[in-house]
Amino acid sequence: MSMLVRCAAKVNLCLNIVRRRDDGYHDLESLVTAVSVWDHLEITPVPQFVVEDERGRALGDDNTVWRAARLLATVWCKPLQVRVRLHKRIPTEAGLGGGSSDAAGVLLALRALWGVRWSWRRLLPLAARIGADVPFFLVPTGCAIVKGIGDQVEPIHLPRLWTVLAKPAESMPTKDAFNLWDDEPITVNVNPYALVTALVNGDWVTAQQHAQNAFERLLAARIPQVTNLKQRLLDAGAKIAVMSGSGTTVVGVFTDAHSARRAWERVKLCASWSVVARTVKRGIVVRRGEP
């Protein structure tokens, strides 16, 4: 029995870096939501473990999918006899958490395939060992306030929002973005709880005050297109616009699909990659395929 998995992208509607810890990691606080841009996984029982891309090329042990599967098999003492085929649609080094989403998809799919009755909360420590964004994707609401090094997640319910995601040609590896912050620590005055309340109530003035990202100014100084895309989204009618994660994708939030699509038409030629997406209630969707 194969497992078919959809793994959503995420966007950070606000992100503050609280401090650099003694262990080198960083404590964060952020409002994160899943959006309808999907990677796809096919997980099929086979005699030997393999992770491959959609063309059948093997992916190595540096891939988050590989690491997630190995970790789970070790913890649960299961023979790792599956082929995982990864269909990538989420851009890499874009602040959208694609690799983390794929890892979470493997955790939930293998839990179902092997019939292990662990709750999503019990999976959180394992998820955190793979990557800082992986725990978020286990949340059953598709939205959460995230703290610590990503290991503290509080499920949140938001109304449906429409977004336009726009990425410049330049990317920024997460490690490099944190190095920039270490050299020039910037904190932003955001309250993710206040942002949630503002989004629920349609209070866009307050939402604008809290839709900030501590990485944004640092990256925009080196990649001016971040600021350019943000301003274009605002000029096209976005209620708020903010860079997601460690960049470089900018997300604009709209109240309806028509407004989002109209804005996308105005910004798509200025972006290396762009899409209209809506927020979704689950970041990972697992279903059984044909036997």
DSSP structural state of residue 280: -
The CA-atom distances, in angstroms, between 240 and each of 20, 63, 194, 230, 248 are 28, 33, 14, 9, 16
Q: Report, as residue numbers or ranges, the catalytic residues.
A: 10, 133
Binding residues: 91-101
Strand, coil or helix: 200: helix
CATH code for the part of the protein at 3-157: 3.30.230.10
pLDDT value of position 158 = 97
Give the annotated binding-site residues for ATP: 91-101
Residue 289 — pLDDT band, cuts 50, 70, 90? confident
The residues, ordered by sequence, that sit 6+ positions from 265 with a Cβ below 8 Å of its Cβ are: none
Is a pLDDT exceeding 90 seen at residue 113?
yes
Span 174-193, pLDDT tens digits: 999 999 999 999 999 999 99
Per-residue pLDDT averaged across 77-86, rounded? 97
The reply to whether 162-278 shares the fold of 3-157 is no
CATH superfamily, with its number, for domain 162-278: GHMP kinase, C-terminal domain (3.30.70.890)
Task: Kindly report whether the global pTM for this prediction surpasses the value 0.85.
Answer: yes
> What are the extents of the domains in the chain?
3-157, 162-278
State the average pLDDT over residues 235-263. 98
Is residue 1 pLDDT above 90, yes or no?
no
Per DSSP bridges, beta strands 152-155 and 82-87 are: unpaired
Going by C-alpha positions, the residue among 275, 288, 287, 289 that lies closest to residue 98 is 275
Q: Work out the mean pLDDT of the chain and round it to a whole number.
A: 97
Angle value at C-alpha 175, between 172 and 177, nearest 5 degrees:
50
Percent of the chain as helix, strand, coil, to the nearest 5: 35, 30, 35
